[in-house]
Structure 1
Amino acid sequence: MFSLTLHADTYPQRRDWRDLPWLDRIGEGLRVRLAARLALRVGRREALVARVDAEEAGLAALDDSARAAVLAELRRQLRRDGFADDALVARAFAVVRMASRTLLGKAHFGTQIQGAWVLLHGNVAEMNTGEGKSLMATLAAATAALAGMKVHVVTVNDYLAGRDRDEFGPLYAALGLSCAFVGESATPEEKSAAYPADIVYCSNKTIVFDYLRDRLALLDRMQPLRLALDAMLGQRRRQLLHGLQFAIVDEADSVFVDEARTPLIISAARPSVEAEAFYREAIALAGQLVVGDDFTLEVPQRQPSLTEAGRRRLPQLAAAGAGSPVWRSVLRTEEACVLALQALHAFRRDIHYIVRDGKVMIVDENTGRVMPDRSWERGLQQLIEVKEGVAVSPEKETLGRISYQLFFRRYLRLAGMTGTCREVRGEMASVYGLGVVRIPPYRPSRRLRLPARLFASSEARWLAVVDSVARYSRQGRPVLVGTRSIAASEHLSGRLQAAGIAHQVLNAKQDEQEAGCVARAGEAGQVTIATNMAGRGTDIKLDDAVRAAGGLHVILTELHDASRVDRQLAGRCARMGDPGSWEEILSLDDELPAGLPTPLLALLAARLAGGGQRGAWHGLALALYRWRQWRVERRHAHLRELLLRADFRNRVALSFTGEME
């Protein structure tokens, strides 16, 4: 029986995967994509929607007691057979949709039924932003839970997870399913009480770190036979999770791709007075080096490199000013100095990090959110703290480490949903074994894309942005301006204030007011400046007057490293058939074009200095800008692949048996 297989392992998870040779990885990726295209084709999805409609019509003719009997029989069949039978899945979807219609006043659209079916079969459903992915997930989550699976609905932050649990908890309760929310700040006791629920809402960071805590608690007892033996002997160790059975990941591209370059590490503090003195000496030493003469700095990679002159000068400076004996090693001196140069020149305040309450906090480049629980490795965190003049945190000793790529591959069944995934569908297939299925919008899109404008300087760009904001605001339309960094959002805020344009700022410094800011962003004439998070996962509501005026207008002031993030921001407008428009107002001073050769940049700047926003030179400059974005995307994809391969090698090297677990 389907549900019995889930209970054969005390801590169910995938244990049979291995790192495949590169040719096998390519073949497996192609197989996954082809299988998703054929097995989940449009005709079959539409046939399922028709079945759900017919099943719900039959349920509507029954009284409450008869519906309860149908639900009990449905649960029994799902636990016995799983959800391979489309007829059984259609009946389950009909039961869930009828309960949602009655309790929440929301009935799932046909496109949401298609998307839920894609999720249930372990794939990624790509739907336009604003198409109701959170409601769609309830169909798949409830059906899987009725079949006996423990379901984790994973979102990008605690606010969204708590919001969805509060909204959909009554729906699950009506189906006889328990639902819980696990927040990042919850105590171990609260987590232990919440995780046994049938459906658990949590953030990606919370679930991964709790898994690492379980591994540290169980150690070599994680194997199925040992766990079963401990249970028989009454010696079960304390654990948080109850295995990794089924995960539905919201904003899947953000979790699976954007955050996959950063491993998650559990560490313990290791205070050292000598280490703090060493970091202060390193910053002082690096501060004496001259850019261009002693070192060069590659801007996009944020990687400084010592020149030959710098290498010759460094030992003299170290001997004259540094007291620690570690500076006697030339190799150690160069390594520490390069890291200190990175802290001084490559990482900038209010762009890569903020200082809050006397602490340096990392800002997620993909979302613009503050990550107070994260720190840089290899002493970079301490060096930046010395640079900013705040208390230096102790060094960390790594206790447990895993990447998102390795973690999510351990689920028995994995699914995702997002509005921006087509650019990385190959990576989804080869790394996670997930096919990407495009779900059409419920209503035709009315989103209008205006011609992109690229200026020679940031000054000219900001003038154009202020002018565009003023023009659309006067029309009674709300305006959302996306910036890449906190510093840029505050700079633009100052310019709008000087121009007498009322506005609100939504960046990582105001993340606790995010929900209120997003709620007001759709009001007539409202101007909102947002970093890349832009209320991702929340809806900007429009009233009839705003729709009549043309809807929300979105301005992108700089392209991100990933074009998917740009599409996500543009997708804030014209949702669910509403009107809306968006435009790009860019500058050659942005971070992406900085990777172009200096002579070429100077030539393009000279040609665009006259303000002409048409013609061959403008088209060439835009093409080069987007080419740089594509190159950076490819480099990041390569880094993710290197991280995954390194994880595999490390686990084999550190295991006495050569096994991955």
Structure 2
Amino acid sequence: MKNLLKWIMGDQHEREVKRLQPLVDEINELYEEYHELSEEELKGKTEEFRAFIAEQTDPIEEKIREVRQQRGASVDSQERDRLLAQLQGLEQERDTAITDALDELLPEAFAVVKETCRRLMGQEFMVSGQPTKWDMIPYDVQLIGGIALHRCSAAEMQTGEGKTLSATMPLYLNALAGLGAHLVTVNTYLARRDAEWMSAIYNYLGLTVGVLDLHEPGSDSRREAYAADITYGTNNEFGFDYLRDNMVHTLDRRVQRGHFFAIIDEVDSILIDEARTPLIISGPVSRDTQTGYKKYNPMVSALYKKQLAIASELIGKAEQALEDGDEWTAAEALLAVRRGTPKNRRLLKMFHDDPSIQNLVQQAEASLMREKRLHEVDEHILFAMDEKGHNVALSDRGFEELSPGDPDAFLVPDLSEIIGAIQEDESLTKEEQEAEIAELEKEYAEKSERMHVVHQLLKAYALFQRDEQYIIGEDGQVVIVDEFTGRQMAGRRWSDGLHQAVEAKEGVEIKGETQTMATVTIQNYFRMYAKLAGMTGTAETEESEFHQIYGLEVLVIPTNRPVIREDRNDLIFRSKREKYNAIMDEVDRLVKMELPVLVGTTNVDVSETIARMLKRRGIPHNVLNAKQHAREAEIVQEAGRPGAVTIATNMAGRGTDIKLGEGVTDARTVGWAKERGLDLEELVAIDPKLRTDLASQPDDFVIECGGLHILGSSRHESRRIDRQLRGRAGRQGDPGASQFFLSLEDDLMRLFGSERIANAMEKWGAEDGEVITHGLVTKSIERAQRRVEGNNFEARKKLLDYDDVMNQQREVIYDLRLFALEGGEDLKGELWEMIETAIRELVEEHTPPDLLPDSWELHELRRSLLTDFFVQVEELPEEEEEEPSFYDREEILDVTLPAALAQYEKKLESFGENAEKVQSWLLLSVIDDKWKDHLYDLDSLKASIAFRGWGQKDPLIEYKKESYDMFVDLMTDIRKTVTSLFFRAQIGQRPEPQRPQPQRLQYSGPTDVGDTGGAGAMDRSRLAQPGRGGSRLDPVGVAAAARAGDIAGPSGPDPATLQTNRGEESGPQEPVTVDDEPGRNDPCPCGSGKKYKKCHGSPT
């Protein structure tokens, strides 16, 4: 019934496309009219459209300017709040006016772009160094795609359907608003190519185009690229520029100008695949992190080898038990092997030779889980692996193996319980309690660090394999391989010590661990845009996530020409060996028929295995993987030649067309084969459904369709990646075929679907070497993929849930930074608000509501105001009083606030013309200093919060509660420190201490956090420093420093002029450098012999 209704009414996408048809017709009518316009009249349409938008928005803009001026001139907090609410309402009104104006202009603007394309026909332009003739006028389906993009949808357009041209129309339309229109791509090559290619349209119509990746971060030219009407760039550069802009110390170093409209090319790759990992800018930690990995690496290596030996013993025990008829003992032993070494070859061979053994193990596992006795199995092994959850867990036997003489070496104490007992111990003095707690915290930090290092090393050995998740580069460094594209991610590092663990395992140089300085998730960065849209060939399978996370509706755009590619059912074999042999036979068959073949693999190791097998058979081929990424464009260009064989990891080469060679699109018939003297028996298909006796067929019988043939060596975890691979063939109505070759030993099948399929093969009587293909099996595999997709979605959702908490805090901090950068009267009001609140909080602290006024220590309040803020309040008593001077808190505020305001005005006057710079410098320095520490605290909280689940508490709710409390403390600390430093700052100058050597500042993004979903690396030694509240800023000489223009301050790097190490097609560039400030307890570099916190790092 469901299919019948769909056949009668069409699906929702077809209905939406029909609803857009009248708008498409209107565009085409205007397009015909614009044929008659002169070149000057057509080009003049741009200014005509801009004038129309300005007419709608100029009156609102004038009101916005007036309200901003009023707010800047006011120091009354309530009045400022009222004006802020009014300002936000006016900005919303302006945004609505812009949106309405653009919607009204859409038909005319799209028609202008289409007419421009017609007039460019036949002209030659240089694109990526190659002369390219313009031969494109948007089809109706491209107009529909453009409308969908303008309306903030994720447009699914099949590969080769002209997404690049479709994007030009909404980009042109939204650029008219003058707020910037961004086109986000997955790599530098595509950003440059598309900008050069499509700028022919934009330049003709008087718009400017910028390309981020052509310019250094923070440079004037990068700022100009953002100032252009339309800006092209990679997602990483957009995100990192946002973070860098919020680390600079002068307004003119910011490069971005807002987030109005963005179209994301390959939106699924950027918003889905790369969204599990946040963008992170990290700096060095102030301690040696390499020693721990060097120390414990031999120990963990020996542990891993012993686990392999134990697995062999258990398999021998299981084989003996099966001979003796003791199935339970055998199942328990094999279950232990599967949990400890799931890819053990002897185990997989047993499952392959006798599927009933695998069923036996699964039944035993289910029984033990029901009885909650699964942990008993783990006592046979040293550690258990969770491949699905990407984690490892040491058993009690494993802990004993690591520290046989010290059973408590890896036992982390329960801090809260022990600290509570110490505080309740009346036999200890306060000083003794503090000493014991400090010693306990030190022990906790040491054991936590030791456990963390061992855990990361164990993951490196058990879960990360060379030539799968990473390779060893020519320079001997560990280089991450992107799991989705197979490309080298040069310069990127896994965080939280995982990269150091892999380096220790491989015996290469171990580089220092890092600490987060700025971070944002892909999701929260792109959700900042007022209008966000995307386009890809594969969006429908992720429709729910696009809607839930980004508010994007997916619209499937019909193809301009029908897709005639044959997507065949999967071929399934018992073992990988049988599968690879079948792939060799199929490649050999297709090459003999002079058809191009693309073999898709999931990792470097598989691609090289297939390459070796092809070489042994004497079949010429090209390999496109992380080790040959430099030849990508050349290999893709040759991939469509007759008989060409290309092996590609996943979607390497995505975004570039494989052009088919001469004669490739022709079907291969029996007559064609006879003409070339081919042996018909060698051309018989491997697929049972296509197998036939060719010798008995007529000459016009089609042996194989023409076009590119896709052979997938295994299914990916995501159906979308499989669709992308299939989509390499059959572009723009070309013929082609795709088919996946699978085995029961493939990771996806082994983890999620092998039992059902193994039973099916046994039921259908499939023998060794025999292939099965059936629609039910293909559906079973898709169900397994859906489960993996669900797991991955939950991982991304979890990351977003945690980052949403930080995102609200980040917005407050970054807004405050922007106030400080912009300066002016508004900053003066904002700073007074902070001082006023800090004074109020101090008064509240000394006048608790649960005490009577005669118990208030107002003499202490007077002393605190003087010592903390240099504010003298004569009305407050100097000594403790018998009779209170004040009975009401508001009376106290009535005398303290005016005194503080008078001191504030006096201080500003003393700074003279440098007052604004001093205020800006102080606020920025304190914010950056405190925010960096706050990020560390959040990292630490996130790392430990999962344990709350053991106490039947929701970790996310607990994280929200505690992070909110931490943020309240942060804002209080910022206000107090700013107030104190402001009132203490003096005109004067003292010698600057010698700065330490610059240290590395690193950038990491998607594929950098391989396991934790956390926001960066943590310095666990700081757990032993409970009182990290003091400022590291120097108020003396502040005004002189500001006058000299040294506004960057000692507390933050100046990344604007620095290079990122995020090259896509090139190797890593020189990393960013940042001054590494001394630790608070380190000797001061000025040579005084004092600790830094007591000398140049002192707030006083």
> What band does the TM-score fall into relative to the shorter chain?
0.7 to 0.9
Alignment of 1:345 with 2:462, yes or no, is yes
Conserved in 1, the CA contact under 8 Å of 2:215 and 2:222?
no
State which of 255, 258, 264 in structure 1 corresponds to 2:279. 264
Tell me the CA shift for residue 258 of structure 1.
1.0
User: Does residue 248 of structure 2 align to residue 92 of structure 1?
Assistant: no
Q: Show the 5 A alignment for 1:376-455.
A: 376-455=494-573
Of the three residues 630, 633, 656, the one matched with 2:968 is 656
Matched residue, 1:634? 790
User: Any idea what SS the aligned residue of 1:105 has?
Assistant: coil
Which of 803, 825, 828 is equivalent to 1:647?
803
**Cα drift, residue 37 of structure 1:** 6.3
Counterpart in 2 of 1:568? 724
Question: Map of 1:313-392 to 2, 5 A cutoff?
Answer: 313-316=401-404, 332-356=449-473, 357-392=475-510
Amino acid at match of 1:65: E
Distance 1:628 1:106, change over 3 A: same
Pair 1:603–1:113, CA change in 2 (3 A): closer
- Alpha-carbon distance change, 480 to 122 in structure 1, aligned in 2, over 3 angstroms: same
Q: Is the 8 A contact 2:383 2:393 kept in 1?
A: yes
Q: Distance in 2 between matches of 1:605 and 1:308?
A: 40
> What is the aligned partner in structure 1 of residue 859 from structure 2?
none
Classify the secondary structure of the residue corresponding to 2:480: strand
Give 1:77 shift: 2.3
Structure 1: how far apart are the matches of 2:641 and 2:781?
Answer: 33
CA distance in 2, matches of 1:473, 1:583: 16
* Residues 329 and 179 of structure 1, relative CA distance in 2, 3 Å threshold: closer
Larger CA deviation: 113-122 vs 628-637:
628-637
What is the identity, as a one-letter code, of the residue corresponding to 1:97? K
Kept in 1, the 8 Å contact 2:707–2:729? The answer is yes
In the alignment, the residues of structure 2 paired with residue 647 and residue 184 of structure 1 have an alpha-carbon distance, to the nearest angstrom, of 31
Match among 209, 232, 248 for residue 217 of structure 1: 248
Q: Matched residues in 2 for 1:72 and 1:619: separation?
A: 58
State the Cα distance separating 1:408 from its structure 2 match.
0.6
Task: Please say if 1:253 is aligned against 2:268.
Answer: yes
SS of equivalent to 1:505: strand
Report the equivalent of 1:239: 254
How far residue 405 of structure 1 moved from its aligned partner, in angstroms, is 0.8
- Deviation of 1:373 after TM superposition, in Å, equals 2.9
Spell out the pairing of 1:249-328 with structure 2 (5 A cutoff). Answer: 249-270=264-285, 272-273=287-288, 275-289=289-303, 290-291=306-307, 292=340, 293-316=381-404
Matched, 1:74 2:45: no
Say which is worse superposed, 406-415 or 143-152, in terms of deviation. 143-152
Deviation, structure 1 residue 268: 1.2
8 A contact 1:83–1:89 mirrored in 2: no
Contact 1:299 1:594 in 2 (8 A): no
- Confirm or deny that 1:208 pairs with 2:225: no
Change (3 A) 1:288 1:444: same
Q: How far is 1:93 from its partner?
A: 0.8
Task: Tell me the distance in 2 between the aligned counterparts of 1:88 and 1:138.
Answer: 15
Relative to structure 1, the CA distance from residue 581 to residue 146 in structure 2 (aligned partners, 3 Å threshold; closer, same or farther) is same
Q: 1:526 aligns with which of 644, 655, 664?
A: 644
Question: What residue is the counterpart of 1:540 in the other structure?
Answer: 658
Deviations 1:345-389 (A, max 9, x none): 211111101111221111111121221232111111111111112
Report SS of the residue matched to 1:296: strand
Structure 2 CA distance, aligned partners of 1:426 and 1:317? 54
Helix, strand or coil: the match of 2:535? strand
Residue 199 of structure 1 corresponds to which residue in structure 2? 230
Q: For 1:207 and 1:657, locate their aligned partners in 2 and report how far apart those are by CA, in whole Å.
A: 31
Write the letter of the residue equivalent to 1:58: E
Partner-residue secondary structure (3-state), 2:610: helix
Report the AA paired with residue 772 of structure 2: R
Asked if the contact 1:161/1:202 (under 8 Å) is kept, the reply is: yes
- Alignment partner, residue 119 of structure 1: 149
Partner residue of 1:511 out of 629, 639, 642: 629
Question: 1-side partners of 2:464 and 2:285: how far apart?
Answer: 24
Asked if the contact 1:300/1:592 (under 8 Å) is kept, the reply is no
Does the 8 Å contact 2:403/2:409 carry over to 1?
A: no
Which stretch of structure 1 is more off in the superposition, 419-428 or 178-187? 178-187
Per the normalisation by structure 2, the TM-score is: 0.52
Q: Work out the CA distance in 2 between the residues paired with 1:184 and 1:646.
A: 34
Q: What are the Cα deviations for residues 121-166 of structure 1, in whole angstroms up to 9, with x where unaligned?
A: 1111111111110111111111111232301100001011111111
Match of 2:664, SS state, is: helix
3-state DSSP of counterpart to 2:253: coil
CA deviation profile, 1:283-327 (whole Å, cap 9, x unmatched): 2221122334211222333321112211333332779999xx979
Deviations 1:180-215 (Å, cap 9, x if unpaired)? 111187343142232211111111111111111112
CA–CA distance in structure 1, aligned partners of residues 661 and 13 of structure 2: 41
Q: Which amino acid aligns with 2:545?
A: E
- The question of whether the paired residues in 1 share the 8 Å contact of 2:292 and 2:450 is answered with no
* Aligned equivalents of 1:317, 1:46: Cα separation in 2: 78
Map Cα deviations across residues 611-635 of structure 1 (whole Å, 9 max, x no partner). Answer: 33337xx777655543332221111
Residue 168 of structure 2 is aligned to residue 138 of structure 1? yes
CA contact (8 A) 2:576 2:746 kept: yes
1:8 is aligned to none
CA contact (8 A) 1:130 1:539 kept: yes
Name the Cα RMSD after superposition. 2.8
Partner of 1:552: 708
1:163 to 2:321 alignment: no
Identity of aligned residues (%): 37
Give the match for residue 769 of structure 2: 611
Q: Deviations over 1:324-350 (max 9, x none)?
A: x97996555443322211011211111
Report the 3-state secondary structure (helix = DSSP H, G, I; strand = E; otherwise coil) of the residue aligned with 2:627.
Answer: helix
Deviates more, 1:625-634 or 1:260-269: 625-634
Which residue number in structure 2 is paired with residue 229 of structure 1?
none
Gaps of 5+ in 1: 1-35, 219-234
Partner Cα separation in structure 2 for residue 48 and residue 487 of structure 1? 51
What are the within-5 Å matches in structure 2 for residues 144-159 of structure 1? Answer: 144-159=174-189
SS at match of 1:417: strand
1:195 is paired with a residue of what secondary structure? helix
Measured in 1, the distance between the counterparts of 2:170 and 2:512 equals 45
Is the CA contact 1:40–1:118 (under 8 Å) kept in the aligned structure 2? no
SS at match of 1:401: strand
Aligned to 1:15: none
> For residues 390 and 605 of structure 1, what CA distance do their matches in structure 2 show?
46
Aligned counterparts of 1:657 and 1:135: Cα–Cα separation in 2: 51
Asked if 1 retains the 8 angstrom alpha-carbon contact of 2:569 and 2:778, the reply is: no
**CA 1:476–1:329 in structure 2 vs 1: closer, same or farther (change >3 Å)?**
same
The SS at the match of 1:582 is strand
**Residue 593 of structure 2 contacts residue 643 of structure 2 at CA under 8 Å; is this kept in 1?**
yes
Query: What is the aligned partner in structure 2 of residue 230 from structure 1?
Result: none
The alpha carbon displacement at 1:649 in A equals 2.5
CA contact (8 A) 1:311 1:334 kept: no
What displacement does 1:241 show? 0.9
- Any idea what the Cα deviations from partners look like across 1:411-448, whole Å, max 9, x if unmatched? 11100001111111111111111111111111111010
CA shift at 1:541, angstroms?
A: 1.1
Confirm or deny that 1:577 pairs with 2:733.
yes
Mapped to 2, the partners of 1:502 and 1:317 lie a distance apart of 59
- Give the structure 1 partner of residue 119 of structure 2: 102
Find the aligned partners of 1:328 and 1:175 in 2 and give their Cα distance. 63
Give the alignment's TM-score, normalised by structure 1: 0.86
The aligned residue for residue 485 of structure 1 is 603
Amino acid at match of 2:299: L
How far apart are residue 179 of structure 1 and its match?
0.6
Unaligned runs of 5+ in 2: 1-10, 57-97, 121-133, 308-339, 341-380, 411-441, 668-705, 810-962, 972-1100
